[in-house]
A and B are shown apart, each in its own frame.
Chain A
Amino acid sequence: MSMENRIQPGHFLNVLAAVATFSTRLFLRRRRTWLMAALMIVPVALPFMAAALDTSATRMGPRLLVALVEYLYLFTLAPLTALFFAGTLLSEEVEGHTFPLLLSRPAPRSAIVLGKFAAYFVVSFVLLAPAVVIFVAGGVIALHVSDPSAALAVLPRYVALVALALLTYGALCLFVSTIATRPVIVSAIFLFGWEKAVVAIPGYADFLTFEKYLRRLTPDVPFKRLELGKLELPVELLRTVYPVGAWTSLLVLFGVAAVLLALACVAVRKRQYAAHGDGT
């Protein structure tokens, strides 16, 4: 078969779709994916436990639910899922020595990277979004919320925010995995070190976190603020917080995700994977 008359592939998109489908299947076959799914579903028990152990919890109703969705799903499980899946997209291929098989295909390296990222995004969203919905639905039932519509009304926005969080955190973890040998450690430092510790740094430092922009996009409902996880902050660490606009936040999050994905593609395109520890 010569180069001219061979089967013409639908080049970039065809390969991207193939890599995405192939990677999605791989995700679904791994035990780790189901472990993550189990971790996502564990918080569903919280409202039930709260209702069983303390009847006053039912009074908090939607306020409690929204606070928990933010704290558990948006700022704990979404970055963790990104670390879990996006952080391993390429490093597992490299560690398992399967990457040469993909790189020797006539697949543009950027199509491989974006295809894998698409698989991560679909799988993690399909796992996390229903977990959020089940959590809120379970909470409405367990806490006997008198006005479930208030909680359910903000649910689509939180689902969208979860998607946005997965996109941005995922893009970051993917980029880190293309340049670092132990991406989990570097990503964990950023996601669970820098993002949490920056609260103590004065000035504009918090503009360098995703959490600031995501928090700005959360629904501004009157019953919302419970501020879990911030209750023990020492008084001397409280500082002036500079506001950011909603549209700016959206723009920044999408922009940063796009830039990180582009950088990941460039890094993979430039890197010579056969030069790492293989024989000669």
Chain B
Amino acid sequence: MPASIAFTDVSVWFGEVVALNKVSLEVAPGITGLLGPNGAGKSTFMSLCTAQLKPGQGDVRVLGQPVWCNYPLLRCLGYCPDRENYYDDMTGYEFVYWLTRCAGLFPKAARRATESALQRVAMTERMHDRIATYSRGMRQRVKLAQSFAHEPDVLFLDEPMTGLDPMGRLAIFELIRELGKGGKTVIVSSHILYEIENVTSNIILMNQGTVLAVGDVHDVRALIDAHPHSVSVRCKAPRALAAKVIDLPAIVTVEFDDDISGLVVRTRDPNAFYARLTELLADPVYGIESMHAPDDNLQSVFEYLVP
């Protein structure tokens, strides 16, 4: 699949501060989470992709084209910035409508697009009220609506869940998943792992202006050799099971649970361990009830890769 976004040796400096340092990556269509602590370079990444910034060095391409001042390309992009930026004197409807008009849509089409976008973020009821009277969550939803009202092919959402209540978050998770369908590209940035995990397993992990990892979170986890994988197994005979798996070459440690109802195995080769476990699964002597990998998630990847 051709890459929607391609960075080649991209560096950006703000004075003496290096915001991005020789970043090279490719992002395929679908939902991708841009993850990293504050100051990692997530917003700079988004600014480069949406023609807010010009790279100091290197090449940024979206849909195969350079971005800076490429207005026809910008028609295919949507952007929801992280900052609280609104025209407070306008209503939510006007805000989305005028920004959609500025995206090049004629009045009739812009009206239709605005109504549809506001409906998708559940803002139809309050859309004719002034933005100044909105709660933070409502403002966020209106800001989100303007980003996809003109149906862009590539959507950049910079911390879109900020200020939303749990119900609002669920709705936005659903919306992002929906937006990511049909070959579109959605980049969602956040420093909250749970938010990204809810919408995608495909991540770009950044820290201090560099890209630490790109790809599926499980694949990334599998590549981290420095930290053995943990597999927790609940079974009736943990000691017998331990004796059976301890001889596997990549096993690092085997620990028993406090209540002796299971064991935690640390291994550098989880696939070999899972293969052995599958063989033992049918044997009633061990009574294997369940198993899970507590560190095969984003949190662990984040903790292992970000010093």
Contact = CB atoms under 8 A, between A and B. Distances in A.
A104 B79 contact: yes
B190 to A, nearest CB: 14
B104 A7 contact: yes
Nearest to A9: B104
A275 B76 contact: no
B41 A280 contact: yes
Nearest to B110: A18
Contact of A104 (B51, B109, B153): B51
Given A3-B76, A9-B75, A108-B71, A101 B99 contact: yes
Interface string B28-62: 00000000001111111001001111100000000
A53 interface: no
A274 B104 contact: no
Interface in B76-91: 76-79, 81-87, 89-90
A109 B54 CA distance: 15
Contacts of B78: 104
A98 B85 contact: yes
B269 interface: no
A165 B139 CA distance: 40
Interface stretch (A22-30, A176-184, A236-244): A22-30
B295 interface: no
A222 interface: no
Interface residues of B, number: 51
A103 B51 contact: yes
Interface string B79-113: 10111111101100010001101111110010000
A97 B84 contact: yes
Residue among B44, B90, B98 with the highest chain A CB neighbour number at 10 A: B98
A279 B82 contact: yes
Contacts of A205: none
Given A29-B90, A101-B81, A7 B106 contact: yes
Contacts of B106: 7, 9-10, 14
A278 B94 CA distance: 26
A18 B110 CA distance: 11
A275 B14 contact: yes
Contacts of A56: none
A22 B39 CA distance: 34
B19 A102 contact: no
B39 A280 contact: yes
Nearest to A108: B71
Nearest to A1: B151
B90 A26 contact: yes
A98 B131 CA distance: 14
Contacts of B87: 26, 96, 98
- Number of contact residues on A: which range applies? 35 or more
A234 interface: no
A11 B83 contact: no
B166 interface: no
Nearest to B78: A104
A245 interface: no
A100 B52 contact: yes
Q: Among A22, A96, A269, which residue has the most Cβ atoms of chain B within 10 A?
A: A22
B185 interface: no
Contacts of A21: 98, 101
Nearest to B70: A106
Contacts of A15: 102, 104
A230 interface: no
Contacts of A100: 47, 50, 52, 79, 81, 83, 85
B11 interface: no
B233 interface: no
Contacts of B105: 7, 9
Interface in A28-43: 29-30
Contact of B102 (A10, A26, A105, A278): A105
B306 to A, nearest CB: 15
A247 interface: no
A195 to B, nearest CB: 32
Nearest to A278: B43
Contacts of B14: 275, 280
A102 B47 contact: no
B212 interface: no
A25 B94 contact: yes
B54 A105 contact: no
Contact of B52 (A7, A22, A103): A103
Contacts of A109: 69
Interface of A: 1-3, 6-7, 9-11, 14-15, 18-19, 21-22, 25-26, 29-30, 96-98, 100-109, 112, 269, 272-275, 278-280
List 6 A-B pairs, minimum CB-CB distance, nearest first: A9-B104, A274-B52, A106-B74, A18-B101, A274-B47, A29-B89
29 contacts: A1-B153, A2-B153, A3-B76, A3-B153, A10-B104, A11-B104, A15-B102, A15-B104, A18-B101, A19-B102, A25-B94, A26-B90, A29-B89, A30-B89, A97-B84, A101-B79, A101-B146, A102-B102, A103-B50, A104-B51, A104-B79, A107-B71, A112-B102, A269-B69, A274-B52, A278-B47, A278-B83, A280-B19, A280-B209
Given A18-B102, A100-B52, A106-B103, 20 more contacts: A3-B73, A3-B153, A6-B75, A6-B76, A11-B71, A14-B104, A14-B106, A19-B102, A96-B85, A97-B84, A100-B83, A101-B79, A103-B50, A106-B73, A107-B104, A274-B44, A279-B39, A280-B41, A280-B42, A280-B44
